[in-house]
Structure 1
Amino acid sequence: MARPVARTGGNLVTEENGASGSDAWIMGRDGTTAADDKKVQIQGYASKSSVPPGESIDFHISSRVAQTCTVEIYRLGHYGGVGARYLTTGEGVRVSPRPKPEADQVTGLIACDWPVSWTLDVPRTWVSGMFLAVFTSVDGYRGYTPFVVRDTARRSDVLMVVPFTTYQAYNIWPFDGRIGKNLYRGFKADGTPGGNPERAFRVSFDRPYSEAGLPSWFDMDTSAARWAEEAGYDITYASSLDLHEGRVDASRYTAIIFSGHDEYWSKKMRDATEEALAAGTHLAFLGANNIYFHIRVEASEDGRAGRIVTCYKQDPDPEPGEGGATERRRALGRKHRKAEHALLGVQYNGMISKPVPLVVQESKHWFWSGTGLRDGDEIPDLVAVEADGFDPSMPRPEDTEQTLLSKSPYDDSMGRGRRIQNTSLCEDQRGTLVFVAGTFHWPLALSRPENLDPQVRRATRNLMDRMLQPRG
């Protein structure tokens, strides 16, 4: 497929980021205090993970006492370093206490049935991006819920896929010592956190994200988005559910960025990504532990599509579909052919209790150009939380040349011994690239102040510039 010259700079995203930014959404501004799951001072959830301009999205909100609250909408981006832009406010929104549903005794599913509190009609002029709805009560409590404005009508150079299925897998709302569950744990009878015996097999988008409402590792995605918009790339956004539901044609884009912790994938998500790669679309995974668990995305009880994520993991799956049981992908298929390693060239291999340096290798490769790094040089604290590595026993991407750009030793915090982290780049005969950073701190190093690293920024810029070169 022909790939045109990139529209870096002078596009809708650069125009959008020329607007005045605002940090008024940040917790603590104007004396605001974070809501919590026990008292639910003000919390809410959205009816969709994404919405196109010209359509509407509903917000379902609960409060500790009946009152009027405000709902402010912000678009996240660079905006001269401020990080967000205020767009609109729903004032005088009537909210009331709503019940916390009990977990289903078999599957652990927790799904709210709160009425619509406020509806946002998304103007056609809004630019695709990551958005936050900010709920603020009259007594100064604040909660959030994220959503995406997608724009599939515009063929941007880059598509960023935001990992909403993984957000929900980790969402343990309500974290109240009694009801809450996610795909990892729940609560024991004495109110202490449990593990696999207490966890859910199914989790619903019809509930707030826990505590203040920002999903687990949300800052990986916001940091990547702010960096990309600062760099002026022509970028649009979609949720992982858009990829699953086929609302985006992934093969239309020159490059796709998977910006954060993207662990939970359905068969449809994997198929769409592989089809895009076969069509010549580059892939960049900026985190680690990607495409690890196979999931089903299912409808709610009242038939709304894409509202439940199902994953049985090591427990027997009572209804495996065409993609097989909902377990680790590397356990599916003959000879691990469905493993993430077969697409990515690396795979999750451990957890890190304390950040360690990323140790550079292949420093003469174009990826490291301009960084000043040499083989054996270390980028401090870049390998953190979870790591990917190359496994010679696993299938590799076919007909590709693979370069391992780092070789970083670390001790697995789960007691599984000494491991090696690898940042990987695979290139096929047409020049199509698959990049995997292999650590959680890579996207944070792009723009989050406490993690900012100029060498990571330069290397990632090298990667994107290479991906956006025109090809016949």
Structure 2
Amino acid sequence: MDRRDFLKTSTAAALGAQVFTAPAAHSASASARQPDLIKTENAKPGASYQLTRMRPDGAKSFRSSVIEGYCSRQSVKAGETLEIFVSTAPVARFQIELFRMGYYDGVGARLMATLGPFEGKTQPVPALGEQRLRECTWEATTTVTIPADWPSGVYLGRLSTLPAQAEEPFWQSYLIFIVTDDRPADVLFQCSDNTWQAYNRWPENESLYTDPRAAHAPGVSVSFDRPYGKYVQILDHPLSMGSGEFLLWEYPLCYWLEKEGYDVTYCSNVDNLDPANLKRCKTMISIGHDEYWDLRQYDHVKQAIADGLNVLWLSANDVYMVTPFTPNGQGQPNRRLTRETCFGEFREEEKEAYAKVLGPFEKTGPDERDIIGARTIVPFNGGGDWTCTKPDHWLFAGTGMKQGDSIPGLVGWEFHGEPDLQRPSLEVVAEGNVWAGGTRLGRYAATIFEGPKKNFVFNASTIFWSQGLSSPPGHMIPWSHFSRPHGPDERVQRITRNLLERGLR
């Protein structure tokens, strides 16, 4: 769509909220199978999505109040509406460019629409409420009806101020949402957006980790009705402002899958409250850092595995904290998360080691090993090499890896261990040491086990897995606990292909 098509509003009209509705476009049924959709989409021209100028409020601030925004929903389908809320301080005119993230001949994104210009306003920072909740009730800047020809994917909105004079600077940040659908597809890419929000410290220092009682205190809430601040863990990345954790841990997989032409569709954590979402695909991928789950997500994935779904945990520290969804103050469902307890029992030595940061939890959720094969263990953090233990397994076909061969730095910054060795079909395919802080020894285990219908569940046991797949434009390789991955690796790519090919049979 041409930029001019979206700049039709006059300056007078821009003074209030706008409603964006794209020209009608013919598309196949939203529930029809479209195996070449991603290949066709990525043949279209790409555009740079990256921020050029971004100004945090201060050296230690997590926000950029000069321009920031959020969306009314985590995910949205074609034909549905999405409200976008933006604040500028001081008041400034601005525009919103909406990008779909993918491969696009290596450019990494496609410009889908340019909205505005808008006359900005400074919107209020909400007071700190019960359970340390910060929840905005901003005036909507615009309402977008998702066009029928916008494929499922992760969408970034680039917010840019429009200075009145050429010599004045402009400032930028992101907002983020997911377009999902109902169509059958080979691969379901589940974004880990619950965890993005759990760590979000906007506006001052409000996340699920900043309660003065303990870092993992129960009864603390966060709201999706607020902007994402900059990424806050292990890496100072101000150019991530407003994008959650997607650009760091999830974008390399998105870029690689679409480069390879896989039939992939996308969803948020909240979409798996509907078990039908899992039934339409052959393989689900959890990617990056997928720590925070509602019990209903757990139950639905467990049942989907029993029904034949393949699951790839290309992630770590997964399904660790039980965080039920609840409505926001306006009654909109699933807009708040509250830490209730943890999944699985802690060992006594874990309780002792982390007494100052854990709980107390009166009860625990089910054991995450039932759907992963391993669990988060103490120490939580660390880094190490990903070392092959089963070179004859089909997983390693074509990699050339031998017993004891390692992919350097691939494990980190969190991992899984203590595999469920009581499960008859479970195999440990990679294992080794990790070092937290460079001094405390831990042990990770990557595993695979069979489901009841010739399906399988693979646990890569590292948040860094996607770093071995690609390094898209604007991506930064992380570094943590005196350890780092080395970027794209043909062995990681081949293992992932083997998993997907087996999962598509």
Report TM bin, short chain: 0.7 to 0.9
Equivalent residues in 2 for 1:143-182, closer than 5 Å: 143-152=173-182, 154-175=183-204, 180-182=205-207
Q: Who is 2:112 aligned against?
A: 87
Equivalent residues in 2 for 1:387-402, closer than 5 Å: 387-391=415-419, 401-402=425-426
Determine if the alignment matches structure 1 residue 204 to structure 2 residue 252: no
Residues 207-216 or 71-80, more deviating:
207-216
SS in 1 for 2:69: strand
Q: Who is 1:141 aligned against?
A: 171
Q: CA deviation at 1:46?
A: 0.3
Alpha-carbon distance in structure 2 between the residues aligned to 1:27 and 1:126: 23
**Residue type matched to 2:95 in 1?**
T
Q: CA deviation at 1:390?
A: 2.6
Aligned match for 1:338, one of 356, 359, 366: 366
Q: CA deviation at 1:39?
A: 5.4
Alpha-carbon distance in structure 2 between the residues aligned to 1:59 and 1:247: 28
**Residue type matched to 2:264 in 1?**
I
Aligned match for 2:446, one of 414, 423, 443: 423
**Residue type matched to 1:419 in 2?**
G
Q: Who is 1:258 aligned against?
A: 286
Q: CA deviation at 1:27?
A: 1.7
Preserved contact between residue 170 and residue 184 of structure 1 (Cα < 8 Å): yes
Determine if the alignment matches structure 1 residue 62 to structure 2 residue 83: no
Change (3 A) 1:353 1:438: closer
Alpha-carbon distance in structure 2 between the residues aligned to 1:64 and 1:414: 42
Alpha-carbon distance in structure 1 between the residues aligned to 2:458 and 2:446: 8
Q: Who is 2:67 aligned against?
A: 42
Determine if the alignment matches structure 1 residue 76 to structure 2 residue 110: no
Alpha-carbon distance in structure 2 between the residues aligned to 1:327 and 1:355: 27
Q: Who is 2:309 aligned against?
A: 281
Change (3 A) 1:248 1:208: farther
Q: Who is 2:342 aligned against?
A: 328
Q: Who is 1:455 aligned against?
A: 491
TM-score by length of 2: 0.79
Q: CA deviation at 1:145?
A: 1.3
Alpha-carbon distance in structure 2 between the residues aligned to 1:217 and 1:182: 17
Q: CA deviation at 1:289?
A: 0.8
Change (3 A) 1:432 1:114: same
Q: Who is 1:464 aligned against?
A: 500
Equivalent residues in 2 for 1:115-126, closer than 5 Å: 115-126=139-150
Unaligned runs of 5+ in 1: 1-6, 189-193, 312-325
Alpha-carbon distance in structure 2 between the residues aligned to 1:426 and 1:158: 19
Q: Over residues 240-274 of structure 1, what are the superposed CA-to-partner deviations in whole Å (9 max), with x where a residue is unaligned?
A: 01112x28431221111112211101111111111
Q: Who is 2:393 aligned against?
A: 365
Change (3 A) 1:344 1:403: same
Change (3 A) 1:384 1:18: same
Change (3 A) 1:391 1:334: farther
Alpha-carbon distance in structure 2 between the residues aligned to 1:419 and 1:252: 38
Change (3 A) 1:467 1:198: closer
Alpha-carbon distance in structure 1 between the residues aligned to 2:138 and 2:65: 13
Q: Over residues 79-119 of structure 1, what are the superposed CA-to-partner deviations in whole Å (9 max), with x where a residue is unaligned?
A: 11211111110021222111111211x41000011110112
Preserved contact between residue 127 and residue 149 of structure 1 (Cα < 8 Å): yes
**Residue type matched to 2:54 in 1?**
T
Alpha-carbon distance in structure 1 between the residues aligned to 2:248 and 2:422: 30
**Residue type matched to 2:172 in 1?**
R
Equivalent residues in 2 for 1:8-19, closer than 5 Å: 11-19=36-44
**Residue type matched to 1:441 in 2?**
F
Change (3 A) 1:293 1:72: same
Q: CA deviation at 1:350?
A: 4.3
Q: Who is 1:297 aligned against?
A: 325
SS in 1 for 2:415: strand
Determine if the alignment matches structure 1 residue 213 to structure 2 residue 213: no
Determine if the alignment matches structure 1 residue 21 to structure 2 residue 46: yes
Preserved contact between residue 53 and residue 149 of structure 1 (Cα < 8 Å): yes
Q: Over residues 148-198 of structure 1, what are the superposed CA-to-partner deviations in whole Å (9 max), with x where a residue is unaligned?
A: 11111x1111111111111111111013xxxx3100116x8xxxxx96399
Change (3 A) 1:163 1:263: same
Preserved contact between residue 261 and residue 290 of structure 1 (Cα < 8 Å): yes
Determine if the alignment matches structure 1 residue 185 to structure 2 residue 210: yes
Residues 34-43 or 205-214, more deviating:
34-43
Preserved contact between residue 381 and residue 412 of structure 2 (Cα < 8 Å): yes
Q: Over residues 275-321 of structure 1, what are the superposed CA-to-partner deviations in whole Å (9 max), with x where a residue is unaligned?
A: 2111111111111011011111000111000110000xxxxxxxxxx
Equivalent residues in 2 for 1:343-358, closer than 5 Å: 343-350=371-378, 355-358=383-386
Alpha-carbon distance in structure 2 between the residues aligned to 1:251 and 1:120: 29
**Residue type matched to 1:174 in 2?**
P
Q: CA deviation at 1:364?
A: 1.1
Aligned match for 1:132, one of 151, 156, 159: 156
Q: Who is 1:320 aligned against?
A: none
Q: Who is 2:21 aligned against?
A: none
Q: CA deviation at 1:354?
A: 6.1
SS in 2 for 1:81: coil
Alpha-carbon distance in structure 2 between the residues aligned to 1:391 and 1:223: 27
Q: CA deviation at 1:216?
A: 3.2
**Residue type matched to 1:421 in 2?**
Y
**Residue type matched to 1:239 in 2?**
S
Preserved contact between residue 181 and residue 199 of structure 1 (Cα < 8 Å): no
Residues 406-415 or 271-280, more deviating:
406-415
Q: Who is 1:229 aligned against?
A: 258
Alpha-carbon distance in structure 2 between the residues aligned to 1:386 and 1:234: 29
SS in 2 for 1:349: coil
Preserved contact between residue 109 and residue 200 of structure 1 (Cα < 8 Å): no
Preserved contact between residue 352 and residue 384 of structure 1 (Cα < 8 Å): no
Preserved contact between residue 242 and residue 248 of structure 1 (Cα < 8 Å): no
Q: Who is 1:319 aligned against?
A: none
